Structure 1
Amino acid sequence: MRRAEIRTTHGDAETAERIAAAISPDNTDEMSTRTDGDAVVTAVERETTGGLHATVDDYVVNLRVAAQLSDRLTSHDT
């Protein structure tokens, strides 16, 4: 089994919660997402290195979009 943990920080716990909520529906059975303060932490397990690589690539794209949308939401609030 191949494993990866991706941890990203987002400035505050509220933003991390919002981003985790946005990306969690895209998780496969081999993924889990949680928050830890201002961080979003996602664990991924896959049978093969190639499968792990593909899943992490997809996750990073989804995370980036969620973070960009969260930034836009935050900028509209101020």
Structure 2
Amino acid sequence: MSRRATIRTDHDDATLVARALDPDNTDEMTTTVERDGVVDGTDGDDRTGTVVTRIDRETTSGLQSTVDDYVVNLAVAIDIASQARPVQDDRPTDTGPVSDHDTDSDTTHNE
């Protein structure tokens, strides 16, 4: 008899969170993204959704260990997703030359 757990978490960028989790998933785990109850996998275009991870293990202790690991990985994935979002900035991206003045210093080397 196998033990099962399903973990559902809502995110503003569910696809990015699911992709960040994917490398750590084992063969006993599947992670998908649902939007309005429809499974999109991890290739959807809409950002907001629910990450659904199903874990299936043979023993209770194995399930507990896998869920513990997943929760840690999820926290890291959420942090990655929040850091990856573009931030609007009012500053210009091109500030031009560092100085508008010619230099007074002698850059030639007389030996």
Return the TM-score normalized by structure 2. 0.63
Letter of the 1:49 partner, please give it. T
Alignment of 1:1-78 (within 5 A): 1-11=2-12, 15-37=13-35, 38-74=49-85, 76-78=86-88
RMSD: 1.0
Unpaired runs of 5+ residues, structure 1, are none
The alignment covers a number of residue pairs equal to 74
Query: Identity across aligned pairs (percent)?
Result: 51
Larger C-alpha radius of gyration, 1 or 2?
A: 2
Where do 4+ consecutive residues of structure 1 move more than 4 Å? none
Q: Deviation per CA, 1:14-52, whole angstroms, max 9, x where unpaired?
A: x10001011011111110000002110000000000000
Higher relative contact order, structure no. (Cα contacts within 8 Å, ≥ 6 residues apart): 1
Matched position secondary structure for 2:83? helix
More helix by share: 1
User: Matched residues in 1 for 2:74 and 2:87: separation?
Assistant: 21
Return the TM-score normalized by structure 1. 0.89
